[in-house]
């Protein structure tokens, strides 16, 4: 069979990795795919960078439209990132009848509906394994490997930067700020780390997984997002004493009233496998009604791990490009006419157990007063621990673990507790996820 011709848009970290791995493993990949997968064009604003990769015969251009307009190109790989230029280029490639492979989670989370619909209109595929959890083949697992299942929930450590920071805070008993600084020095966090530490990147990824797990449209505007910037080393160590690890989780779950879609730090029982995923590594748990709990672990970022996913998509697309679109694996797992309008639940309606830390003036009746407020909102307590005095003669840290309750009740209870004269400062609330198999 004749080789598939690929045009790369952007040859930064992932683009460079893709070019390198495709070249290095050309023989191995061809032995599997039954045909070569060859990059014949590279577009990058930085022509020197592009030329430093390009072997002889590979056309380098500063204009991405040259790649899209070239009738020789079978598949366009978009590795530019962002939601503006990348969007125009992806739509232009689709309009030209090109298949698209992309690692761009922000683009698909924000404009997925428009992009997938355009692709269906032209009978081409938009593949995005590399957009979620880097080299872990989690999109394939959800979309094909677990296709027999009614998915109950997906929960993942899907931002390596945030996980690195939390691992370091726990292992070295350090506060957030210096660890973030260290992550930046090591290249694990960007100069502007907002997307990673505020949960935006994880939210992009869980939005995509939610769509393919449950057959609902991509709805990034509905994700609840809470980052890790307010986590203290104190809470991490109390959690550990209680048998939990704190991780930034992306979670999507089907419940009776709708679908939960959220990113926030969570206490996970320390004996769960996923609680032991440390450093920049990623892991995604998927619970299906037939298979039970499964877990997928690997590098969630980096040049070659992400390239591994990009190239897997290239091979998949090469295999099915000639097939009747109706026989292809649907891009979003479910047939486009079989999506449901199950609502994404507002966070107020989500029910979770919680870890609460309060600074309480230590006098008789304090705990009773707090417990009464919780009881008023039907929140029952599973454990109370009084910790050491935070400063000489000052308030003591009281940790409470609660059973599951709707978020809106917990919000109201916390607001009321913060008005009590025996409570100083804000109440720290971190949700608990048991992630039982």
Answer for which of 33, 67, 68, 80 binds its own copies (CB under 8 A) is 33
CB of 369 to its own copies, least distance (A): 42
Q: Which of 214, 93, 221, 70 is nearest to 154 (CA)?
A: 214
Q: Which of 361, 357, 358, 356 is nearest to 421 (CA)?
A: 361
* Site residue total, its own copies (CB under 8 A): 70
Using the minimum distance from each CB to its own copies, give the nearer residue, 14 or 427. Answer: 14
Residue 25 is a binding residue for its own copies (CB under 8 A): yes
Answer for which of 137, 156, 265, 395 binds its own copies (CB under 8 A) is 137
Using the minimum distance from each CB to its own copies, give the nearer residue, 250 or 305. Answer: 305
The Cβ-side half-sphere exposure at 262, using a 13 Å CA radius, reads 21
Q: Residue 426 gets which letter from DSSP?
A: E
CA 387 to chain centre: 34
In the block, tokens 């015969």 appear at 57
Residue 293 is a binding residue for its own copies (CB under 8 A): yes
Separation of alpha carbons 134 and 146, rounded Å: 19
The contact pattern for its own copies, residues 140-179, with x = CB under 8 A and - = no contact, is xx-xxxxxxxx-----------------------------
Separation of alpha carbons 44 and 51, rounded Å: 9
Question: How many Cβ atoms from other residues are within 10 Å of residue 361's Cβ?
Answer: 13
Give catalytic status of residue 5 as yes or no. no
Separation of alpha carbons 228 and 157, rounded Å: 13
CA 270 to chain centre: 21
CB of 317 to its own copies, least distance (A): 11
Separation of alpha carbons 316 and 334, rounded Å: 17
CB of 125 to its own copies, least distance (A): 14
Residue 259 is a binding residue for its own copies (CB under 8 A): no
Q: Residue 144 gets which letter from DSSP?
A: I
Residue 429 is a binding residue for its own copies (CB under 8 A): no
Residue 34 is a binding residue for its own copies (CB under 8 A): yes
Q: List 287's β-bridge partners, or say none.
A: 153, 293
Answer for which of 22, 115, 169, 358 binds its own copies (CB under 8 A) is 22
Separation of alpha carbons 108 and 207, rounded Å: 9
CB of 410 to its own copies, least distance (A): 32
**In terms of residues, how long is the chain?**
437
CB of 79 to its own copies, least distance (A): 15
Answer for which of 48, 221, 256, 324 binds its own copies (CB under 8 A) is 324
Using the minimum distance from each CB to its own copies, give the nearer residue, 135 or 156. Answer: 135
The phi and psi torsions of 264 (rounded to 5 degrees) equal: -165, 165
Using the minimum distance from each CB to its own copies, give the nearer residue, 34 or 425. Answer: 34
Separation of alpha carbons 408 and 256, rounded Å: 17
CB of 338 to its own copies, least distance (A): 4
Residue 291 is a binding residue for its own copies (CB under 8 A): yes
Residue 423 is a binding residue for its own copies (CB under 8 A): no
Residue 2 is a binding residue for its own copies (CB under 8 A): no
CB of 139 to its own copies, least distance (A): 9
Residue 277 is a binding residue for its own copies (CB under 8 A): yes
Separation of alpha carbons 40 and 222, rounded Å: 40
Separation of alpha carbons 352 and 420, rounded Å: 24
Active site residues: 205
Residues in touch with its own copies (CB under 8 A):
1, 17, 21-22, 24-25, 28-34, 129, 135-137, 140-141, 143-150, 215, 273, 276-277, 281, 288-299, 302, 304-305, 307-312, 315-316, 319-320, 322-324, 326-330, 333-335, 338, 437
């Amino acid at each position: 069979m004749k080789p598939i011709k690929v045009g790369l848009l952007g040859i930064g970290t992932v683009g460079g990795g893709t070019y390198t791995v495709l070249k290095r493993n050309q023989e191995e990949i061809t032995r599997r795919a039954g045909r070569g997968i060859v990059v014949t064009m590279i577009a990058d604003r930085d022509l020197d960078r592009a030329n430093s990769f390009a072997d002889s015969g590979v056309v380098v251009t500063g204009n991405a439209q040259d790649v899209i307009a070239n009738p020789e190109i079978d598949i366009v790989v978009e590795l530019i990132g962002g939601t503006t230029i990348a969007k125009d280029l992806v739509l232009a490639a689709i309009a030209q009848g090109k298949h698209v492979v992309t690692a761009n989670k922000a683009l698909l989370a924000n404009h997925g509906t428009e992009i997938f619909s355009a692709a269906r209109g032209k009978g081409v595929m938009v593949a995005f394994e590399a957009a979620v959890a880097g080299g872990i083949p989690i999109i394939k697992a959800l979309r094909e490997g677990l296709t027999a299942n009614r998915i109950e929930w997906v929960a993942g450590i899907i931002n390596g930067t945030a996980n690195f920071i939390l691992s370091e805070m726990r292992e070295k008993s350090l506060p957030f700020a210096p660890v973030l600084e260290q992550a930046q020095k090591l290249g694990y966090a960007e100069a502007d780390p907002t997307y990673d530490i505020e949960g935006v990147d994880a939210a992009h990824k869980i939005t995509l997984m939610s769509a393919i797990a449950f057959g609902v449209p991509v709805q990034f505007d509905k994700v609840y997002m809470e980052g890790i910037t307010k986590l203290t080393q104190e809470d991490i160590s109390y959690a550990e004493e209680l048998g939990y690890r704190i991780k930034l989780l992306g979670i999507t779950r089907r419940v009776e009233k709708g679908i939960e879609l959220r990113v926030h730090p969570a206490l996970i029982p320390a004996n769960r496998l996923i609680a032991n995923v440390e450093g920049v590594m990623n892991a995604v748990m998927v619970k299906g009604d037939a298979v039970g709990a499964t877990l997928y672990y690997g590098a969630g970022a980096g040049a070659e791990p992400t390239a591994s996913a990009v190239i897997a998509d290239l091979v998949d697309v090469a295999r099915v490009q000639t097939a009747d679109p109706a026989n292809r694996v649907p891009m979003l797992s479910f047939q486009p006419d079989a999506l449901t309008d199950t609502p994404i639940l507002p966070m107020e309606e989500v029910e979770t157990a919680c870890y609460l830390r309060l600074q309480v003036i230590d006098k008789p009746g304090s705990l009773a007063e707090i417990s009464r407020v919780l009881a008023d909102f039907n929140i029952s307590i599973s454990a109370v621990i009084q910790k050491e005095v935070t400063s000489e003669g000052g308030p003591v840290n009281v940790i409470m673990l609660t059973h599951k309750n709707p978020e809106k009740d917990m919000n109201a209870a916390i607001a009321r507790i913060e008005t009590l004269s025996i409570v100083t400062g804000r109440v720290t609330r971190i949700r608990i996820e048991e992630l039982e198999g």
